[in-house]
Amino acid sequence: MTPEMRPFSQSLPMALLRAREAAMRRFRPMLAEHDLTEQQWRVLRALSASDDPVSIGEVADHTFLLGPSLSRILVNLEQRRLVERSTNEHDQRSALLTLSGDGHALVGRIAPRSEEIYNGIEAQFGADRLVALLEELAALSSLDTVPDHIRAEVS
Amino acid sequence: MTPEMRPFSQSLPMALLRAREAAMRRFRPMLAEHDLTEQQWRVLRALSASDDPVSIGEVADHTFLLGPSLSRILVNLEQRRLVERSTNEHDQRSALLTLSGDGHALVGRIAPRSEEIYNGIEAQFGADRLVALLEELAALSSLDTVPDHIRAEVS
DNA sequence: TATTGTTATACTCTATAACTATA
DNA sequence: TATAGTTATAGAGTATAACAATA
C-alpha cells in the first residue's frame, strides 16, 4: 500500500471515468445499432447543436478530438453522407461543416431514444440532483479556463 | 438544430468527459515524464491500493480495461519490473498480481506530486465541495449496480 | 511568419472470437 | 461445461512531426 496517496476509489479522474462508464453503458448499444463509435457520435452531436456551419477546429475543441483523429472521422462521416463540407469564403484555409439531411435524420432517430435513457437516469437519480451535478461538473471543467476579459489583460 | 434533444453542453457523458479532461490535463505531464500511459497508471494505481495480491480479472474490473488490453499492458509492466505475477495455489487458472519493489518506488515518487496537483484542485474548487462531488459521482456510478443481497434473491 | 487542416508514422487501446489450461 | 487468461486479428484513436495552402 501507498498510504501517502488518496485511495484509488476516491481519485477524481477514476471517479469521473467510473461515472462516465456507468452512463455510457446505457447509451452504447444504441450507438452500436447505428454503427457509430462514441467519437463519431460526438462529432454528429456537436454539429447538430448548431444551425450554422462550424469550422473543423471548433468541432475538435468541442469534442476533445485531435486534428488527425477528426480528419479521419470526417472522411468516414462524409462517405456515409452524414456530414457536408464547405469552404469559408472569408478564409480559404478553414473548412466549414454542417450536418447533411441524412445526418439530421439520423440524429433525429437517435434523439428520442437518447432522451428516454436520460429520463431513466433522471428518474433514478433525481432531476434536480442531476442538474446540480452538471453544474458542479461545469464548474470543475472551467477551473483552469481563464475568463476572456482576464486573459486579455494577461496576454 | 435538433431541439428534441438536450443541448450538447448539458449532455451527461460530455460533461463527465469534459471534467475528466480538465482533471487529466493536470496529471498527464507527470505520467509522460515516467513513460506511463493513463491505462498503465490505472493498473499500477489499482495494485498499489491493495496490500494483497489481486487477480487479473479484478484489476480489469477496477481499471475498466478489457482482458486483451490488460494482458498486453501487463507484459509491458512486467518487462519493466514494475509488476510481479504469481499463481493462485487454490486455482491454477487465475494469476495474482502485486506491485514489485520498483513498482512501489515509482508510485511513491509519483504520489506526492499527484497529491500536490490534487491539493491545487481542492484549493480552487473547495475541499468540501470536492468531497460532495465525489459522493454524487459514486452515487451515479452505482445506479445500475444491484446490491449484493438483492442480487442473491433475484438470481 | 502564423494558422488551418491533412498526411505520415508508430504506438496503444478497443472489441470480438478462438484458443489453452484448469476447475 | 464453465471459468481465467492469452493470442489472433481488425479496426479505431492518440500523439507528434512534417507538410501544403492560405493569411
Nearest nucleotide relative to B94: CA against C1'? D4
pLDDT digits (tens, 9 = 90+) for B50-70: 989 999 999 999 999 999 999
Which of A1, A8, A12, A59 to mutate against chain B (most B CBs within 10 Å)? A12
Q: Which pTM does this prediction carry?
A: 0.90
B143 touches A124 (CB < 8 A): yes
CA–CA dist A23, A56 (Å, integer): 27
Of A61, A74, A65, the closest CA to residue A100 belongs to A74
Give the number of beta-carbon pairs within 8 Å between A and B.
Answer: 162
B-chain residue closest to A45, CA distance: B8
Contact state of B134 with A8 under an 8 Å Cβ cutoff: no
Mean pLDDT, rounded, of chain B: 88
For cell 480528419, the residue is A71
Compute the CA torsion angle A133, A31, A114, A57 (nearest 10 deg): 60
Of A14, A63, A13, A6, the closest CA to residue B26 belongs to A13
Interatomic distance B67 CA / D4 C1' (Å): 10
Which of A16, A18, A121 to mutate against chain B (most B CBs within 10 Å)? A16
Residue A59, helix vs strand vs coil = helix
- Residue B144 is nearest to which of A22, A49, A108, comparing CB atoms? A22
Of A5, A19, A80, A62, the closest CA to residue B118 belongs to A5
Please name each of the domains of chain B with its CATH number. 11-144 (1.10.10.10)
Which nucleotides of strand D come closer than 7 angstroms to any CB of the protein? Answer: 3-9, 12-17, 21-23
- Residue A2 is nearest to which of B24, B27, B111, comparing CB atoms? B111
- The answer to whether some atom of strand C lies closer than 7 Å to the beta carbon of A55 is yes
Contact state of B2 with A112 under an 8 Å Cβ cutoff: no
Among A54-63, A70-79, B5-14, B121-130, name the one with the lowest average pLDDT. Answer: B5-14
Residue A143 has pLDDT above 60, yes or no: yes
pLDDT digits (tens, 9 = 90+) for A110-127: 999 999 999 999 999 999
- The answer to whether some atom of strand C lies closer than 7 Å to the beta carbon of B72 is yes
Closest protein residue to C16 using CA and C1' atoms?
A: B68
B30 touches B114 (CB < 8 A): yes
Interatomic distance A94 CA / C5 C1' (Å): 7
CA–CA dist B141, B61 (Å, integer): 14
pLDDT digits (tens, 9 = 90+) for A53-101: 999 999 999 999 999 999 999 999 999 999 999 988 899 999 999 999 9
Cβ contacts (< 8 Å) between A5 and chain B: which residues? Answer: 48, 107, 111, 114-115
